[in-house]
Amino acid sequence: MAGADYNTSRWVEDKTLLLEWADEKWPEILNKRSVENDRAYHLIENTLQVLESLLYGTALNPKCPLNCASACCFFSEKEGVKIPLELSKLKEISEYVKNTGGKTEDYLELKPVAELPLIMKSQVENPTPGYEYVTKRHGLDMVYLLKTNPDFIAAGFTENIPLVSPGRKMRLDETHKACVFLTKDGLCSLHEKGIKPIVCTTYMCFTSYALNLLYLMGYLTDESLKGNDFELLNKAAVKADEIFSLKEFQEIDVKRDDAFKDLVSAFISGAGLDEKTVTFEKASEKYYEKRRYLLEPVMLILGA
């Protein structure tokens, strides 16, 4: 962990690695638990629970905190970019469409993998385990794509546009069309029925990702996110990314992570546990105090 290229997403990646490291140690931690080390045990347990909750809300089951009329649910017909559907959701969506009196072919498009854009082709050919996309039809590898609505274009939503990366807004103009399941209120009719394609569930634009992380950390509120325009929201997201890249921020982060690893190692070995417990408690106190101070400019931008 170091360097100006460090940012909010890299921070989440590092914390995921830390959690994986701790998970590997967990059987040993449970085996060493006793009345004498109960204080250290609960300190380790609480630290991991906070980290798990944070990572769940950023990587596994993120909830977009923005109010942009679902700008990420509009796609360019010219570029052929649409959402691939994992096969496990096909039956649910077909039943949903049937219950609404529609036909599956009006909502889903079956397309050869060979005709997909390169990025999407790589995605469907190398899926996350459990989320297969490719099916065989007439000897060809095919994939289902969510169609777009020809009568529901993005013309009315071009003002509230988040960033897809620092300095680059999401492309959205009158040539983009909405996902066929997006309502005119900017809500997903599939999500309302509990049907959540993995690509839709895990995708977050840059602005949403950065601000959602700070929201989960407790620095931003619903009011500060919903009550500001996108000029300020985008500015706040960029500022957050800049702060995470600061050497000062990275130093306090590394110091606390190292103190946590030392605590876990001492818990397992039994050597110097009291000292490592106190060291981690002090490192955590300084870490949270300094982190809040460093991230205060973001809160000031949004009035949080």
| pLDDT one-digit tens code per residue, 237-296 | 999 999 999 999 999 999 999 999 999 999 999 999 999 999 999 999 999 999 999 999
Please report the pLDDT score of residue 244 as a whole number. 95
Please report the pLDDT score of residue 37 as a whole number. 95
Please report the pLDDT score of residue 1 as a whole number. 47
Cβ within 8 Å of residue 253, ≥6 positions away = 1, 11, 14, 287
Q: How do residues 207-243 score in pLDDT, each as one tens digit?
A: 999 999 999 999 999 888 887 888 899 999 999 999 9
Number of neighbouring beta carbons within 10 Å of residue 275: 12
157/166: higher pLDDT: 166
Q: Where are the domains of the chain?
A: 8-65+212-302, 71-203
69/198: higher pLDDT: 198
- Residue in 73, 132, 77, 154 with CA at minimum distance from that of residue 109: 77
Q: How do residues 103-135 score in pLDDT, each as one tens digit?
A: 988 899 899 999 888 878 888 888 878 788 999
- The pLDDT-based confidence of 157 (bands split at 50, 70, 90) is low
- The pLDDT-based confidence of 47 (bands split at 50, 70, 90) is very high
With b for 16 or more beta-carbon neighbours within 10 A and e for fewer, the 186-197 pattern comes to bebebeeeebeb
Please report the pLDDT score of residue 263 as a whole number. 98
Number of neighbouring beta carbons within 10 Å of residue 279: 18
Mean of pLDDT over the chain = 87
Please report the pLDDT score of residue 61 as a whole number. 77
pTM: 0.81
Q: How do residues 5-16 score in pLDDT, each as one tens digit?
A: 678 989 999 999
Cβ within 8 Å of residue 7, ≥6 positions away = 241, 244, 245
- Residue in 182, 159, 229, 202 with CA at minimum distance from that of residue 74: 182
- The pLDDT-based confidence of 74 (bands split at 50, 70, 90) is confident
| C-alpha separations of 255 from 96, 104, 284 in Å | 51, 54, 9
- The pLDDT-based confidence of 190 (bands split at 50, 70, 90) is confident
Residue 188 has pLDDT above 50, yes or no: yes
Number of neighbouring beta carbons within 10 Å of residue 79: 11
**Given strand 148-153, what is the order of strands in its sheet?**
74-76, 176-179, 148-153
Please give the backbone phi and psi of residue 177, each rounded to the nearest 5 degrees, phi first: -120, 150
